[in-house]
Structure 1
Amino acid sequence: MSKIVVVGGGAAGLELVTRLGKSFARGNEHQVVLVEPASHHYWKPRLHEIAAGTFDDELDAVSYLQHAYCNRYQYVQASMNALNRSAKSIEIRNVNGELSTLEYDYLVMAVGAVSNDFKTEGVSEHCLFLDSALQAQQAWDRINPLLRSQGEHRISIVGAGATGVELAAELAKVSGKLARYRQDTKLTITLVEASDRVLPAGPECMSEKVAKALTKLGVQIRTDVRVSRAEQSKLVTENGEIIGADLQLWAAGIKCAPWLAELDGLETNRLNQLKVDATLRTTLDDAIFVLGDSAECPQPDGSFVPPRAQAANQAAGHLASQLKRMLKGKTIKPFVFNDGGMVIAVGHDYAVGSLLNNKLILRGRLVRNLYDTIFRLHQRILFGWGRVTALVLLKRVKGSLNPFYKHNIS
């Protein structure tokens, strides 16, 4: 019997242990362990909804403890502290700060990535981030008082990638809906991007449609603007311009946590991503695999798998099947990413999508439904279609009874 330890309960890690737990449970063949410091799982592409106060944590959050019981894997609430490759063990720290050792036969790193501040002065002290549910909740704790108070308030968001765009749109929608509550409150949202367009990683025609939708919502878009430093209640650009704000959020670029570069000699790149071969194995240790944004995985054309949610989900499904092959003594196959396009939510009732290798750009409410469907497909892996159908019905009932902005304003 082999022991597979998965570090990180994001979308990729949780989907992996779900598949493996179900596969191995019946014959009690192998042990699957998930190491994750949080108590609940939140789908990362929806963290902006937590920050904006529109996320339904009653229906869309997943308890690791309950899910582990239902899917026959072990959940350890702890964070990884160190790696000992020769002993095949990791050091973990639980929520009380106590250290212990956890042995493995195979280790899967699925810890994801965080925002890249590019060592910009003052960003870590004066900007909020959306790299985890905890950080998103902290952002909400700062945004909520602004929504409850009278007058105009300014919010600056640095980075017009998917996270920055979706957060700006969600906050603009919330601000617009406040009129229903007869609140004399308005958010002025400024989206700051160093490139010459929003969504610089996407096709230009998609960027144009998203920019028009954001402008219609009242978001002020500032492109070709580089932030040289952040200070209390203001951003300072390279040309000396001051962009004032009551609240500042940073959503520009990605990198991996520095501790990944200190894992017992494993190879990493300049972004602290762990280098793997085409089978998702680390270059220096065949017993360690890496999933998602924390992996630098080569592709047949010489490129690398992009740090996107769909890539992580595909890798999780691939690795689940390949680990099962490997444990049966079969050769594992390389992972090849199949780009299914990009869908960006611009508020709760509108989205823009790029499909068929950017040959087809769609927009509107139906595309927003496609965005929600992607989330439901993630839930389907975790729960099965029966529970997902029940969740969809419950959410529609709640939506018809509750206001768009779910938190109390008085």
Structure 2
Amino acid sequence: MIGLGSMIGAGVFAVFAPASAAAGTGLLLSLAIAGVVAYCNARSSAVLAAQYPVSGGTYVYGRERLGPWWGFTAGWGFVIGKTASCAAMALTVAAYVAPEFARPVAAAAVLALTVVNYFGITKTAGLARVLLAVALVSIGAVLVAVFGGGQVDAGSLGGGWTGGVTGVLQAAGLLFFAFAGYARIATMGEEVRDPGRTIPRAISVALAAALVLYAVVAVGLLLVLGPEALARSRAPLADAVRAGGMDWLAPAARIGAAVAGLGALLALITGIGRTTLAMARNHDLPGWMAGVHPRRQVPHHAESVLAVVVCVLVLTLDLRGAIGFSSFGVLVYYAIANASAFTLPAGLRRMPRWLPVLGLGGCLLLAATLPWQSVLAGVLVFAVGLGGRAVVRARRA
């Protein structure tokens, strides 16, 4: 529920318009490419999570399989990129709920969901289940309007490859942002029963379900709006409902976007807190951030700091353009996951050796073809993190 809720919240309501602007009707090919890369990453993550069932995800896998510097690179990219994603999701929710008070409402949403996380992973999964159910009902209503309104145009699926190969790859990189929800599952290895069995199954089920839903929604949006109108739309699902002639269902899109955004924000806070915990335990972040509540068994220090940082961001900055930067960080994160899985011995890898190689190459290719501003910002932030770690280690030595 945490993984699927995160993927649906990020993808259905936020990614299709910029992806269509890059690829036109090549959006469907971009979706397939993103799905293949995500599948490779999911298999690698599942195998590694079963082998290392502790909090931290690829930060831990990179440290164990490749060395401390690679682990730090993965953890730094995840924490920084997903912190920006938290702010973007909170602002998106507020824009649908109360656009005139967007920043205060966004900060309130962050604080409220941090409190939910404070009460433990069972409460988190329970709320994620409710939010996901509401989002799926809303999306179902939208699809009824899209496919039942009689306004579909099959010709919209032909032509429109305005971005060429580069545009298709760039769109795949943006769409990959929406598939990253299964990372939240792998970061919580210490808090689920039988992680060696539970985590791989949860990753596979969440990814397959999200890919099917994305494909249905993408086809519907292209049939009703066409690639050009879809690229211009700020609220694609709501515009598709109106174009289908069922305006009375338009509020379903707005409600669904707000609820799914809350689900994604909930999962983001959960995953970042666990990765921060793992990095603090290894002194890659301040040690006091490794504090775990004695009864709730949650990283309350890390999540409290995260809440404060995200609230400052939503009150002072406009982070809607952070999706590209976040995609860059996530792709680097999964590139390291694939490289880590490649080093496992055959008895533990339990998948063809070419699979993590394909995932590694796909991640690097999609990261390189993102908008240049996102690539430049990502490289600079990674340089700051790695340089800071080098200075701290030199002083300690």
Do they fold alike, i.e. is TM over 0.5? no
Larger radius of gyration: 1
Structure with bigger RCO (C-alpha 8 Å, 6+ apart): 2
Which structure has more helix as a fraction of its residues? 2
TM-score (norm 1): 0.28
Q: Which has the higher strand share?
A: 1
